[in-house]
């Protein structure tokens, strides 16, 4: 059921089996799965059903290092969490691209420091299949040949690139059923507008004994649970655990807050096709409905063999149509007079949808080859507690982040490989001085998973090293993040964690 946090009196104590902190996809999935298994769950969410300015201000923080959009702009508090910022168009709504991590992402790569997961792709595969259902998308199949007419494997896909797909799913398809299930569940209490301000810790430093919550009206109340799941996003997860260590929690790892990763996006490559028929023959690489109704797009993926030696990053290339200059001028003029909707059909801006235009070769003069790529984990890229404080008196987070030279060297090599292997499609231009855009809003890595506490914050079961009853959910546990949107892996790991917690 949904609980009005304002109605809970000052000093009230809520008792439960498991307290989940955060109602983004990770927290919602964990909580619903536990409630369905008969475990009593309390879910604390700082935000409401729709974003509220005063609550969003709690996401403030500072960035030190390279240019980055900021901590408030890249996060959202509320039911569904940062899925509220998803911006991929799907029919008449917004959602995200889905794909799993690659098997190589789970492996230790000698040339990539701090790589390797304590679980394998095969161990996570059953949970990925379950995640497909939860996200409301198609089957757990991402090989391009299983979905339609790809460009020939012996042609532009070459030896280092393979055709894979993304599946598209709406935010509503994921979030709405989870929220509805918790709102009606007899074993769950969903508490929006309930901001965690403190974790109480016992004298040993090994157990959390209570979660102290602040409501908008100023009252505070406490949740006492057997186990706690911190599921508030990679920045907030680290911040909350840092605050808990100040209260005596003995997190037995030097990696807390370290290893922050994003998914940079590179637009340095431009394809100008040789064939005027390219928009028809390559339609698989445009967003479209597959035979079973799943919305997909074909993409070029770097094969695992080309990644293992550390020379190339894991990455994926998609084709985004570029409108001709005259089309851009027409759109700019229409925008100035408020008539953009009148020209959208025959003068689209580009991106996806190019294969469905009646005369695409007249509207588009080429394609941006968008590279989504991994950032390797570095202890210097980290979250710390800053000197500024939020409205509740708590230290705000501070992100130290840089795009390191080793990662850029891998990107430079990747550009060359992609340009060479797609060259038979057309002329490839490379803007060699371009730098990638880091603002995918895919925060990861600050409570990384490792069997050894010297190299990670949580173990293979996502339990915090050195602590008996605190677990972490979300992309913060990723040791490496691959190139792909983290949502599918977040959901798979959340289901796996719920399965573990259901029997402890």
Tell me 193's DSSP state.
Answer: S
pLDDT of residue 1: 86
- All residues at 6 or more sequence positions from 33 whose CB lies less than 8 Å from its CB, including other chains: 494, 495, 498, 499, 502
pLDDT of residue 399 exceeding 50, the answer is yes
Task: Say how far apart CA 229 and CA 208 lie, in whole Å.
Answer: 11
Task: Say how far apart CA 210 and CA 222 lie, in whole Å.
Answer: 6
- CATH number of the domain residue 247 falls in: 3.50.50.60
Tell me 142's DSSP state.
Answer: -
- pLDDT tens digits for range 35-62: 999 999 999 999 998 889 999 999 999 9
- Classify residue 117 by burial, with Cβ atoms within 10 Å: 0-12, 13-18, 19+: buried
pLDDT of residue 342: 67
How many domains does the chain divide into?
Answer: 1
- All residues at 6 or more sequence positions from 439 whose CB lies less than 8 Å from its CB, including other chains: 68, 69, 74, 262
Q: Any bridge partners for residue 323, and if so which?
A: 364
pLDDT of residue 148 exceeding 90, the answer is no
Q: How many CB atoms lie within 10 A of CB 130?
A: 18
Average pLDDT over all residues of the chain: 93
- pLDDT tens digits for range 69-119: 999 999 999 999 999 999 998 888 999 999 999 999 999 999 899 999 999
pLDDT of residue 153: 43
pLDDT of residue 152: 56
- Quick one: pLDDT band at residue 154, thresholds 50, 70, 90? very low
Please count the CA atoms within 13 angstroms of the CA of 448 that sit on its side-chain side. Answer: 32
Tell me 277's DSSP state.
Answer: T
Which contacts of 150-155 are long-range, i.e. CB under 8 A and separated by 24 or more positions? Answer: 150/284, 150/298, 151/281, 151/282, 151/284, 151/285, 151/425, 155/424
- pLDDT tens digits for range 171-228: 999 999 999 999 999 999 999 999 999 999 999 999 999 999 999 888 999 999 999 9
| Percent above pLDDT 70 for the chain | 98
Residue pair 222/12 in contact (Cβ under 8 Å)? The answer is yes
| Alpha-carbon distance values, 462 to 219, 382, 425, 456, 475 (Å) | 32, 19, 45, 10, 11
| Alpha-carbon distance values, 226 to 19, 179, 223, 286 (Å) | 8, 23, 10, 49
Q: How many CB atoms lie within 10 A of CB 309?
A: 11
Q: What is the mean pLDDT of residues 158-170?
A: 90
pLDDT of residue 330 exceeding 80, the answer is no
- Containing domain of residue 219, as a range? 5-501
pLDDT of residue 253 exceeding 80, the answer is yes
pLDDT of residue 155: 41
Q: How many CB atoms lie within 10 A of CB 354?
A: 25
pLDDT of residue 349: 80
pLDDT of residue 158: 52
- All residues at 6 or more sequence positions from 45 whose CB lies less than 8 Å from its CB, including other chains: 22, 23, 27, 77, 78, 79, 190, 191, 192, 193, 194
Residue pair 62/398 in contact (Cβ under 8 Å)? The answer is yes
pLDDT of residue 326: 79
Rg (CA), the chain: 23
Task: Say how far apart CA 400 and CA 350 lie, in whole Å.
Answer: 35
Of 369, 300, 47, the C-alpha closest to 150 is 300
């Amino acid at each position: 059921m949904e609980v009005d946090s304002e109605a809970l009196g000052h000093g009230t104590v809520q008792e439960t089996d498991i307290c989940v902190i955060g109602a983004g996809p990770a927290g919602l999935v964990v909580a619903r799965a536990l409630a369905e298994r008969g475990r009593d769950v309390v879910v604390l969410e700082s935000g409401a059903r729709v974003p509220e300015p005063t609550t969003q201000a709690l996401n403030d923080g500072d960035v030190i290092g390279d240019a980055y959009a900021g901590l408030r702009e890249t996060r959202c508090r509320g039911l569904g969490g940062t899925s509220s910022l998803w911006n991929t168009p799907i029919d008449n709504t917004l959602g995200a691209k889905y794909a799993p991590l690659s098997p190589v992402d789970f492996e230790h790569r000698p040339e990539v420091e701090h790589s390797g997961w304590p679980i394998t792709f095969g161990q996570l595969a059953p949970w990925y299949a379950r995640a497909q259902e939860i996200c409301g998308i198609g089957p757990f199949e991402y090989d391009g040949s299983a979905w339609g007419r790809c460009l020939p494997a012996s042609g532009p896909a070459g030896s280092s690139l393979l055709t894979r797909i993304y599946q598209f799913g709406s935010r509503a398809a994921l979030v709405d059923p989870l929220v509805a299930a918790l709102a009606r569940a007899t074993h769950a209490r969903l508490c929006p507008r309930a901001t965690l301000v403190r974790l109480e810790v016992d004298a040993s430093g090994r157990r959390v004994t209570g979660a102290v919550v602040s409501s908008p009206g100023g009252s505070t109340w406490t949740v006492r649970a057997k186990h706690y799941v911190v599921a508030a996003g990679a920045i907030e997860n680290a911040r909350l655990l840092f605050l808990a260590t100040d209260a005596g929690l003995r997190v037995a790892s030097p990696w807390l807050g370290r290893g922050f990763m994003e998914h940079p996006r590179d637009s340095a490559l431009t394809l100008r096709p040789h064939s005027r028929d390219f928009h028809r023959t390559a339609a698989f690489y445009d967003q479209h409905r597959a035979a079973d109704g799943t919305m997909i797009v074909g993409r070029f993926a770097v094969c695992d063999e080309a990644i293992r030696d550390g020379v190339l990053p894991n990455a994926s290339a998609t084709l985004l149509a570029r409108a001709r200059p005259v089309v851009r001028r027409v759109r700019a003029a229409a925008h100035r007079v408020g008539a953009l909707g009148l020209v959208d059909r025959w003068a689209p801006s580009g991106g996806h949808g190019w294969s469905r235009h009646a005369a695409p070769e007249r509207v588009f003069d080429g394609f941006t080859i968008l590279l989504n790529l991994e950032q390797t984990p570095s202890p210097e890229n980290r979250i710390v507690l800053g000197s500024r404080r939020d409205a509740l008196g708590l230290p705000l987070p501070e992100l130290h982040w840089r795009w390191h030279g080793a990662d850029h060297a891998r990107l430079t090599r990747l550009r060359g490989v992609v340009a060479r292997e797609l060259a038979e499609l057309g002329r490839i231009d490379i803007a060699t001085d371009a730098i990638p855009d880091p603002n995918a809003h895919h925060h990861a890595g600050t409570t990384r998973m490792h069997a050894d506490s010297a190299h990670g914050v949580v173990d293979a079961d996502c339990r915090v090293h050195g602590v008996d009853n605190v677990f972490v959910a979300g992309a913060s546990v990723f040791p490496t993040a691959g190139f792909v949107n983290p949502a599918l892996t977040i959901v798979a790991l959340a289901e796996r964690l719920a399965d573990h917690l259901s029997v402890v």
